[in-house]
Amino acid sequence: MSVSTEAAPARLASATVMPILAAISLSHLLNDLMQSLLPALYPLLKQHYALDFAQIGLLTLTFQVTASLLQPVVGQVTDKRPMPFSLPIGMSISLCGLLLLSVAGSYALLLVGASLLGFGSAIFHPESSRVARMAAGGRFGFAQSLFQVGGNAGQSLGPLLAAFVVVPRGQIALAWFALAALVGITLLWRVGLWYAAHIAQRVRRVSHAGPTLPRAQLVRAIAVLVALMFSKFVYLSSLSSYLIFYLMHRFALSLQAAQLHLFLFAAAVAAGTFIGGPIGDRIGRKHVIWVSILGTLPFSLALPYAGLGLTDALLVAIGLVLSSAFSAILVYAQDLLPGRIGLISGLFFGLAFGLGGVGAAGLGVLIDHTSLDFVYRLCSLLPALGVLAAFLPRTRQNTLASA
């Protein structure tokens, strides 16, 4: 990765810095690959430690709530005091969590390892999202989508690698993925050098950027976005945390076969993630948000009643359509408060993790008291909340505040 640090500010404001975007996207892939190994191993851990679904949900809750509570704090702090080298530090903490999970001999240690993964993620996401915006050159939707698709690619690879590397060899095989963390740490150190060279430019832009809407409209818009995030991430949590169990229960699939179906869904999510941002740059974020959430409803309603072949087709459709929302939601929110990029990124990434974690824990308890089939029918209604996108105000897309 070679990017000149002597380029003039005007050029930096107008040019998309692709080497930095590629590096931060690849780092996102490696970060989320490590994180996705945990849910992919739930069936193995459930059997080995005799866990019930509520304990499985608590593992997800520990990881995701740790990340969700800390991310807005990290973002707010770094809005005021940039920390370029917090990126490799965050990846190093995730590495420690992964290694602990590989040798944990008790459920308590599994929870500690999951919390370390969440802590590392809390440091990584707000600052890496800021770097993506800094390097966007005005193409903010494209930059966030490229950044996000790296993370979704990592999430899709996790179940596949778990099926063929970890499941046959056991929990200790998680330690092999320390190599991925070391590659990520190296990349993020280089990104940190570029970020450090452009801190003055970022601070100057932040000082001239303010809210783009009156306060009342701003509060309403954020409230609607939070409701849409709830719809998206609780539904995604029902799939990412329990799809393997659902497929094994309904279609009598083996663990490895079910993980391949989860990989198919995760790959569709990765592909769909890249669509929303660039389209939002062209036609507006609001239109993308509206279509991606509400447009999932026909597929989600059909999923609990489909056979195996149609289930795969519906999972691909759901992944492609629903995943296009997050980049558009995040950039829409950043456009609302262009001077608080870290806080907004931390808040919305935190919501993504927190809502997913609370959803996983709550759904786990509900499954224990009802059934997988009932929960999947109930969750199929969540995309109907996409109708709330009609209440989002129009915004002017601020192409100056790339901090």
Does the pLDDT of residue 210 top 70, yes or no? no
Does the pLDDT of residue 10 top 90, yes or no? no
| Residue 268 confidence (pLDDT) | 86
In tens, the pLDDT along 234-274 reads 998 899 888 999 999 999 998 888 888 888 898 888 788 77
State the helix-helix crossing angle for 18-40 and 107-134, rounded to 10 degrees: 160
Mean pLDDT across 375-384: 94
In tens, the pLDDT along 88-117 reads 999 999 999 989 988 888 899 999 999 999
Mean pLDDT across 350-379: 85
Does the pLDDT of residue 224 top 60, yes or no? yes
Question: Would you place residue 211 in the very low, low, confident or very high pLDDT band (cuts 50, 70, 90)?
Answer: low
State the helix-helix crossing angle for 341-369 and 325-336, rounded to 10 degrees: 140
Lowest mean pLDDT among 135-149, 177-191, 336-350, 364-378: 336-350
Mean pLDDT across 158-174: 81
Mean pLDDT across 140-167: 82
| Residue 376 confidence (pLDDT) | 92
Question: Would you place residue 374 in the very low, low, confident or very high pLDDT band (cuts 50, 70, 90)?
Answer: very high
Mean pLDDT across 218-226: 89
DSSP letter string over 133-194? HHTSTT-HHHHHHHHHHHHHHHHHHHHHHIIIIIHHH-GGGGGGGHHHHHHHHHHHHHHHHH
Backbone angles phi and psi of 105, in degrees to 5: -110, 5
Q: Average model confidence (pLDDT) for the chain? A: 83
* Domains of the chain with bracketed CATH: 9-391 (1.20.1250.20)
What amino acid occupies position 80? K
Percent of the chain exceeding pLDDT 70 equals 90
| Residue 318 confidence (pLDDT) | 95
Question: Would you place residue 1 in the very low, low, confident or very high pLDDT band (cuts 50, 70, 90)?
Answer: very low
Percent of the chain exceeding pLDDT 90 equals 29
| Residue 136 confidence (pLDDT) | 85
Virtual torsion, Cα 118, 123, 127, 132, nearest 10 deg: -40
Q: Which residue has the tokens 């801190």?
A: 199
**Rounded distance, CA 64 to CA 245, Å?**
20
**Rounded distance, CA 363 to CA 30, Å?**
28
Six token digits for residue 139: 């193409």
Question: Would you place residue 35 in the very low, low, confident or very high pLDDT band (cuts 50, 70, 90)?
Answer: confident
| Residue 399 confidence (pLDDT) | 38
Left, alpha or beta for 336 (phi > 0: left; psi -120 to 50: alpha)? alpha
In tens, the pLDDT along 381-394 reads 999 999 999 888 87
Six token digits for residue 137: 């050159």
Question: Would you place residue 7 in the very low, low, confident or very high pLDDT band (cuts 50, 70, 90)?
Answer: very low
Does the pLDDT of residue 403 top 50, yes or no? no
| Residue 9 confidence (pLDDT) | 38
Mean pLDDT across 66-72: 81
Per the CB < 8 A criterion, the answer to whether 297 and 389 are in contact is no
